[in-house]
Structure 1
Amino acid sequence: MTSLIFGDPVAWPDHDVVGISTEFSIGMVVEAYAHGVFPMPVEVHGSPEMAWFSPRRRGVLPLHGLRVTRSLRKMVKRYRVTADTAFDRVVAKCADPDREGAWINERIATLYGQLHQRGLAHSVECWDGDDNLVGGLYGVGLGGLFAGESMFHDPERGRDASKVALVRLVDFLNGAGGERLLDVQWRTDHLATLGVIEIDRYDYLDRLRQVLPTPAPSWASMPESWSI
């Protein structure tokens, strides 16, 4: 699975960053995800660059391994959930510089907006009873891969709304059929409570090869009703 841009995984360094570039384009990003790599902005000697990651230990959420607590099931009923109706707003919420660990900059937001326009990036939105956007997530979809990028929730109006978006995404992907992979980049303690596990880089790349030929799901058909 050698990439024309990122080379042979066997030659990648023994850490999560496999490359750094000043260039950042749609072609590079699509090539990256198709080969198990994703971008995040960094500064090198004060200059903005793009780092390209392929974690040695990759976080994935098995679609049949999701943990949904009783309280989360009850929380789901509070929200209306949609897909691809407010992509730019979800990205903007995820990029809020006041959020702890915020990393999304203008280059990322602009390019992923372009990916969305091409049907390669998608969002899941949670709305409260007053039609306020209170949570959501976004990521890249290629074939049977959905690579989650970021999620958010409104701490006052949308407690657990990001979890609801994730659970709803899993429900949707399970219903789409075929071999699918939900990538969350890294396993965190928070994500582990939902069933996220770690797998080796090469195991991830093997799974990626298997799912890329799977037809992409029809995001326009994602129902707002709850089926879990």
Structure 2
Amino acid sequence: MDLEDLRAVGTALEADQVLSAYRAGLFPMGIGEGGTGPIGWWAPERRGVLRPGDLHVSHSLRASARRFTATVDTAFAEVVSACADPQREGTWITPRIAAVYRALHAAGHAHSVEVWADGELAGGLYGVAFGAVFAGESMFHRRTDASKAALVELVRRLDAAAPGRWLVDAQWWTPHLGTLGVSEISGLEYLAALEDAGRDDHCQAFPTK
């Protein structure tokens, strides 16, 4: 992360506050070691996004994805816990952060995509959804290509619910995300795309509560 992308610092962290921040193009992450407080509110100058038609699915990934079973919102807490595993390099998901996303999930705003193999959770991702926007927070895998398979399922659902209109916020672009089709746009471009996709009230990619 780049401190130039930091917009504000505070101590409060409530579910409704977090949802409002996402709608305004911000997301929370602690600025202390391992994501500890105080809470930083971030809006990257260069934003990583995935747009309709851009997902790169290699032949090997397509074959791998067929070996998994995908579900949505079946194991939200388990996905967050796996993403927050302190043994993972660069983890920033503290118990406080995890609790906020569980509250958002209970309110129907945060969702998970899980992939399973042999009856076990093999990988997944979670994030916050509003309109036709999915703000991705984190992903994990325990088997090769499992997190990528979760992304394939996410895009499949978004394509079905809001064809040509959805937007996935990946926050910061990385070379790994680039191989999957994530591109980088300016913060101003992101806000314009966010306003457009965020108004789509017809997107039903996830169960409602």
- Please, what TM-score do these two structures have when normalized by structure 1? 0.85
Q: Is the 8 A contact 2:51 2:166 kept in 1?
A: no
Aligned length: 202
Secondary structure of 1:152 counterpart? strand
2:83 aligned with 1:94, yes or no?
yes
Matches within 5 A, 1:5-84: 15-43=4-32, 48-84=37-73
Partner in structure 2 of residue 127 of structure 1:
116
Partner in structure 2 of residue 226 of structure 1:
none
Partner in structure 2 of residue 10 of structure 1:
none
Matched AA of 2:178: A
The Cα shift of 1:177 comes to 2.0
Matches within 5 A, 1:1-228: 15-43=4-32, 48-128=37-117, 130-154=118-142, 158-177=143-162, 179-215=165-201, 216-220=203-207
Give the Cα separation in 2 of the matches to 1:177 and 1:109.
Answer: 28
Partner in structure 2 of residue 4 of structure 1:
none
For 1:94-127, what per-residue CA distance to the aligned partner results, in whole angstroms no more than 9, with x for missing partners? 0000001111001110010000001100000010
Give the Cα separation in 1 of the matches to 2:99 and 2:28.
Answer: 14
Secondary structure of 1:15 counterpart? helix
Give the Cα separation in 1 of the matches to 2:79 and 2:59.
Answer: 27
- Please, what TM-score do these two structures have when normalized by structure 2? 0.93
Which segments of structure 1 move beyond 4 Å, counting only runs of 4 or more? none
Q: Which runs of 5+ in 1 are unaligned?
A: 1-13, 222-228
Matched AA of 1:189: P
Give the Cα separation in 1 of the matches to 2:162 and 2:50.
Answer: 16
Give the Cα separation in 2 of the matches to 1:165 and 1:76.
Answer: 8
Give the Cα separation in 2 of the matches to 1:152 and 1:63.
Answer: 23
Pair 75,163 (structure 1): closer, same or farther in 2 beyond 3 Å: same
Secondary structure of 1:48 counterpart? coil
The Cα shift of 1:93 comes to 0.1
The sequence identity of aligned pairs, in percent, is 47
The Cα shift of 1:218 comes to 4.1
Secondary structure of 1:78 counterpart? coil
For 1:20-62, what per-residue CA distance to the aligned partner results, in whole angstroms no more than 9, with x for missing partners? 0011111210110010000001229xx8210000000000011
Secondary structure of 2:54 counterpart? coil
